[in-house]
Structure 1
Amino acid sequence: MWLFSLIKMRSVTLKDVEQDKVVKTVAAHLKKTGKVKVPDHMDLVKTGRFKELAPYDPDWFYVRCAAILRHIYIRSPVGVKTVTKIFGGRKRNGVTPSHFCRSSGSIARKALQALEALKMVEKVQDGGRILTVQGRRDLDRIAAQVRLKAKQAAKQAVIVL
């Protein structure tokens, strides 16, 4: 019995689970808490100059905030310019060649400010933003929940076969 007490269970981090499931779960968590303040005009704006239309998903701002949180978890510090580069894309210029174009800086700034208001992200003196201890704890907890659901789904799939 004492041998089992010496062996520690490895904790689950954000890097251990699939990114799309984590982003969806974090976005649902941000929406459910209701603490993220979505600016009023966000249902009308495009996400960048290279886009033709606004996003179809009404909850796209929560998904963007969740993706930014995941990126800050993996690579920090992150500033507004970095976020605009991450979510940038290809601008089609008709018959002329396409070029890379950054995403909207206003959206990136508002998302980072919303995450700062939640105390999940804080500014660094050298520039950019990093995760707070509370933000890292919340993301690891959500990652553990996602991992548990994936294991339960795998068990159900095995039982069905």
Structure 2
Amino acid sequence: MPGVTVKDVDQHVLTKTLATFLQKSGKVVVPEQADYIKTAKFKETGPTDGDWFYIRCASIMRHLYLRSPSGVSALTKVYGGRKRNGARPSQFCTSSDGCIRKALQALEAARMVEKHPDGGRKLTPLGQRDMDRIANRIVAKQREVNNPQPIIITT
């Protein structure tokens, strides 16, 4: 089987699978204030999904895999969005840097991400290896579903 990387897999499937991996491994510790954090100032409420922190960590890891090194301010632009100003025109607004910083700190504690000497953060070899393994599993499952092995019954 040829080598499969994160770039070969659908980003939604990878993010969900990586989030469940982070949750099951127990390496990433969710901060206490995660229930009260609003992910951006242009949002009206906080996230309703209980696993949003793991999904954000997985998304950050995917972003660092593709564009490394990246800092907190670059990630706030990635997760930014449209702020609706009522009757006035909408404007682009960056997301909250606190939740991104907490996610990066949790990933650093899990030894998945490390600080880059020139600034920003990058994936560690351990984090990159885990992501490539997960991408391999996803492709293997997709191939298994598309091409099931015939069952031979001998009597």
The alignment's TM-score, normalised by the length of structure 2, stands at 0.93
| 2: CA distance, partners of 1:124 / 1:98 | 35
Aligned residues: 148
1:129 paired with 2:134, answer no
The alignment's TM-score, normalised by the length of structure 1, stands at 0.89
Unaligned 5+ segments in structure 2 are: 149-155
Given candidates 34, 41, 48, the residue that maps to 1:42 is 34
**Helix, strand or coil for the counterpart of 2:84?**
strand
1:87 paired with 2:79, answer yes
What displacement does 1:138 show? Answer: 0.6
- The one-letter code of the counterpart of 1:13 is T
RMSD: 0.9
Q: Write 1 or 2 for the structure with the bigger share of helix.
A: 1
| 1: CA distance, partners of 2:45 / 2:116 | 34
Runs of 4+ in 1 over 2 A off after TM superposition: none
**Helix, strand or coil for the counterpart of 1:93?**
coil
What displacement does 1:75 show? Answer: 0.5
| 2: CA distance, partners of 1:46 / 1:72 | 23
Q: Percent identity?
A: 56
Could you list the per-position Cα deviations for residues 7-44 of structure 1 after superposition, in whole angstroms to 9, with x for gaps in the alignment?
xx421111111111000000000000112111111111
What displacement does 1:155 show? Answer: 2.5
